[in-house]
């Protein structure tokens, strides 16, 4: 569209509205601009009547001094999968600058050089919602490279929308991880007021530099205040708010640690891991695994749509992960068809029940519907996995084990995805 460059200030005209902002290139069918509020907005290109360039981008090359390593500090590698944390918009010039080199990261967050020696590079630049199994494999291989080069810890910068999926994926892929790998996101980009990127990044660096933790975890704001971050378990953490800085919450578990003013307080015991050689058990990108959510007025056709899939998560209602399978009157004949389709599909592929309630454990023995689902061959009884974690675990098992082994392994606690006991009160989580 015209001779637009990243950072150009534009006015976009549709048939009914006008929008003004900073042009951001996007591979999608949307024309993306950053509004004055700091939020990005996508406009359907087919609806655009005219684009007027208000001001051309002006970028100034900034030369940063080379940084030297301190032999007394640990070395942390920051691997970027997107530009939220390291991107700035200059609203006076319209220039968009993405900063990924160690010198640029240190210039942006100078406190880092007192915490650790910093390596930093871009491994992909994409919206997190566009990630798939291929990208999990790429990130895992890049982590392996950094470990072979001798770094003491790794920070993965990641979009928040699917950060939980990626954290779960890396936890299963990276067997015998010898160093900490922390996923860090930002709910508000660094050019906006109230940005959370700085505290999240610095807290992750402090945690790596000052502990012997060796696992995958998530580091995000603990509250709306800018005073502390939580280190959260990768398989028991979910994004529960669309925009708040403390959007990520631990579900049916406890946060690993709190980082406050650079000080670390462990909130749960983390056992020392036996030293073994790192191995990667990657995803099969050709797998087709789905998530089907139970809802009123459901049709049997929704089940048959997955007949060519390799596995399916059934996010059902309440305690038992219930689906509408009972014919109780003349209006519920479709439920009987749903039941039959579930029984047929369960003979072909693994079906796993989770609950839309998020908190709590699935107990398929309490109600008759749950017992019927178990009789149909549906897995998930007595598990408290998040739907996202169950999806990732099922895909990973199907990628690495024969089908007859998948059903057995799904009920085993392989990485801490299943709680030993159900927490009675979730109000403070």
Give per-residue pLDDT as tens, 19-56. Answer: 999 888 776 678 888 888 777 888 988 899 999 999 88
pLDDT tens digit sequence for 226-278: 899 999 999 999 999 998 889 999 999 999 999 999 999 999 988 777 788 99
The predicted structure's pLDDT at residue 285: 97
User: Is 239 in the active site?
Assistant: yes
Instruction: Tell me whether residue 157 is one of the annotated catalytic residues.
Output: no
- Would you state the pLDDT for residue 97? 53
pLDDT score recorded for residue 95: 45
Whole-structure pTM value: 0.85
Q: Are residues 272 and 308 in the same domain?
A: no
pLDDT at 86: 55
Coarse DSSP helix, strand, coil percentages of the chain, rounded to the nearest 5 percent: 25, 25, 50
Q: What is the CATH number of the domain that holds 36?
A: 2.30.30.520
Cβ burial of 98 (10 Å; 0-12, 13-18, 19+) is middle
**Active-site entry in 56, 59, 130, 161:** 161
Q: Are 276 and 315 contained in the same domain?
A: no
What's the pLDDT score for residue 235?
A: 98
What is the predicted pLDDT for the residue at 96?
45
From the list 34, 113, 239, 249, the catalytic residue is 239
**Does 429 reside within a domain?**
no
In the set 75, 81, 84, 162, the catalytic residue is 84
What residues contact 172, with CB distance under 8 A and at least 6 apart?
281, 392, 393, 396, 414, 415
Q: What is the number of domains present in the chain?
A: 3
Residue 277 CB coordination number (10 Å): 7
Residues 165 and 268 both lie in one domain: yes
Same domain, 26 and 122: no
Statement to judge: residues 151 and 274 lie in one domain: yes
Which of 75, 81, 157, 160 is flagged as catalytic? 160
Same domain, 179 and 221: yes
Burial class (CB in 10 A: 0-12, 13-18, 19+), 140: buried
Same-domain pairing of 37 and 85: no
Range of the domain at 261: 75-280
Q: State which residues of the chain have pLDDT below 70.
A: 1-2, 27-28, 59-65, 83-99, 188-194, 423-429
279-280 and 263-266 as β-strands: parallel, antiparallel, unpaired? unpaired
- Whether 161 is catalytic is yes
State the pLDDT at residue 127.
Answer: 80
Q: How far apart are CA 197 and CA 187, in angstroms?
A: 8
**Does residue 84 carry a catalytic annotation?**
yes
């Amino acid at each position: 569209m015209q001779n637009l460059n990243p950072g150009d200030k534009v006015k976009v005209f549709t048939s009914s509205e006008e929008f003004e902002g900073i042009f951001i290139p996007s591979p999608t069918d949307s024309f993306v601009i950053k509004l004055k509020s700091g939020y990005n907005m996508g406009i359907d290109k087919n609806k655009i009547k005219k684009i007027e360039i208000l001001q051309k981008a002006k970028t100034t090359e900034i030369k940063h001094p080379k940084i030297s390593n301190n032999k007394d500090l640990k070395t942390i590698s920051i691997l970027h999968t997107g530009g939220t944390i390291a991107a700035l918009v200059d609203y006076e010039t319209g220039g968009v600058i993405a900063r990924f080199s160690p010198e640029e990261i240190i210039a942006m967050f100078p406190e880092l050089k007192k915490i650790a020696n910093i390596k930093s590079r871009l491994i992909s630049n994409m919206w997190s919602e566009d990630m798939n199994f291929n990208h999990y494999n790429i990130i895992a291989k890049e982590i392996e490279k950094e470990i072979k080069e001798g770094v003491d810890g790794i920070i993965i910068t990641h979009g928040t929308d699917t950060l939980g999926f990626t954290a779960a994926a890396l936890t299963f892929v990276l067997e015998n991880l010898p160093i900490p790998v922390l996923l860090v996101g930002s709910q508000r980009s660094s050019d906006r007021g109230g940005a959370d990127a700085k505290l999240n990044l610095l807290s992750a660096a402090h945690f790596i530099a000052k502990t012997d933790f060796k696992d995958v975890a998530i580091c995000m704001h603990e509250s709306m205040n800018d005073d502390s971050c939580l280190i959260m378990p990768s398989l028991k953490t979910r994004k529960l708010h669309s925009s708040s800085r403390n959007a990520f919450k631990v579900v049916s578990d406890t946060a690993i640690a709190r980082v406050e003013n650079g000080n670390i307080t462990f909130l749960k015991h983390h056992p020392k891991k036996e030293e073994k050689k790192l191995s990667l058990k990657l995803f099969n990108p050709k797998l087709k695994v789905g998530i089907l959510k139970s809802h009123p007025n459901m049709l049997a056709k929704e089940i048959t749509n997955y007949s060519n899939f390799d596995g399916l998560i059934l996010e059902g209602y309440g305690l038992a992960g219930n689906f509408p399978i009972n014919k109780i009157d003349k209006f519920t004949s479709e439920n009987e068809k749903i039941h039959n389709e579930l029984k047929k599909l369960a003979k072909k592929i693994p079906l796993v029940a989770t609950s839309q309630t998020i908190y709590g454990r699935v107990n398929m023995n309490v109600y008759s519907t749950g017992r019927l689902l178990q009789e149909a061959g549906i897995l998930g009884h007595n598990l408290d996995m998040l739907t996202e974690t169950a999806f990732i675990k099922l895909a990973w098992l199907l990628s690495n084990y024969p089908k007859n082994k998948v059903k057995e392994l799904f009920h085993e606690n392989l990485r801490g995805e299943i709680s030993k006991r159900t927490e009675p009160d979730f109000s403070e989580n």
